[in-house]
Copies of this chain bind each other. A is one copy, B any other.
Amino acid sequence: MSHNSFGHLFRVTTWGESHGKALGCVVDGCPPGLALDEAFVQDFLDKRKPGTSRFVTQRKEPDQVKILSGVFEDDRTAQQYGGQVTTGTPISMMIENVDQRSKDYSEIRDRYRPGHADYAYDQKYGVRDYRGGGRSSARETAARVAAGAVARRVIGDGITIRGAVVQIGPHAIDRDAWDWAETGNNPFWCPDAKAAKQWEDFLDETRKAGSSTGAIVEIHASGVPAGWGAPIYGKLDGELATAMMSINAAKGVEIGAGFAAAAFSGEQNADEMRMGNDGVRFLSNNNGGVAGGISTGQDVVVRVAIKPTSSILSVTQSVTRDGDEVDVRTKGRHDPCVGIRAVPVAEAMMACVLADAKLRHRGQMG
């Protein structure tokens, strides 16, 4: 029910604002006996960290995580589990904000930046922490990434989650050139080396123009066993839809063939089945690994549309809190394409959804 929690049995609650003292999350329902220390979580946070290339925000945040509860280590855990482990009690993690520039916020205090949540928040709450966007800032996603690290312990090493950017602005990758190894060779998580080159030029232009661009992110989860998820309102794809749509700037989610399936015939869309060496083998994956809301054992494949960063240098027409018409230009340290840093976030959301699905599945099924 609560607006700042996600998941059911594996449940994540996040808190914090962009320019507050800190941000963090509480992970509830985690099974005990899973290896977990700050270094493990930090690795995931470092993937999302700002300032790693010229294509992302230059805000300097070390994003150093502290685990405040829910883990324990002594001689016995060292011997039995190899070190510090989860205890089954809530895991509280905190990341202190460091680089909150003490600038004058009077401009965004009173002027609604188009595309941002400024106007909507003011209409709802009447009062808000406008510094850096406050709660609506994508800094909140650091907490998701920390929670996602825990989720990976829950789902285990048998499941591999990988993400890529498959389109930036109007420039889509060539899917035939897809190479997961390439995603580590460029600052865009791009699986197509040629497209990465093109994007570099495109984003340099965009950045220099003080503009921004949208993107499409794609996440694959391999090794998900058949049977996770549930029918109707507990569908695995329904959970993924809300998980991905909850990411800042997300405007669309699709599973498997997604919107393309609208143009298909039943024959084209059918994921035919044959017997393989390890049981059923599907001849295609238009369903994206989910049928009737339940995993089929194929890769779970989801794509998320990310709109362009709303903070741009160009003048846009807007209004003030007091109802005056104004022109707005947003200076500052912004990502020209928030889609890039959305990759580790969307991977984390996939991990959280799967961790929850695993626990719910074994709750009902034993």
Contacts and interface: CB of A to CB of B under 8 A. Distances in A.
Identical subunits present: 4
A261 interface: yes
Contacts of A297: 123
A184 interface: no
A242 interface: yes
A255 B1 CA distance: 22
Interface residues of A, number: 159
A183 interface: no
A8 interface: yes
Interface string A307-319: 1111110101111
Contacts of A239: 242
A292 B94 CA distance: 23
Contact of A22 (B69, B140, B235, B260): B69
B1 A1 contact: yes
Contact of A117 (B2, B76, B292, B317): B292
A314 to B, nearest CB: 5
6 contacts: A3-B232, A14-B232, A22-B68, A26-B26, A117-B291, A235-B246
Contacts of A88: 124-125, 127, 364-365
A13 B32 contact: no
Given A226-B120, A237-B245, A265-B211, A89 B231 contact: yes
A22 B24 CA distance: 14
Contact of A307 (B30, B226, B257): B257
A92 B6 CA distance: 17
A231 B252 CA distance: 17
Nearest to A289: B120
Contacts of A14: 90, 232
List the 6 shortest-distance A-B pairs measured between CB atoms, nearest first: A117-B292, A363-B363, A3-B234, A252-B254, A212-B266, A120-B294
A256 B249 CA distance: 12
Given A120-B296, A272-B317, A20 B69 contact: yes
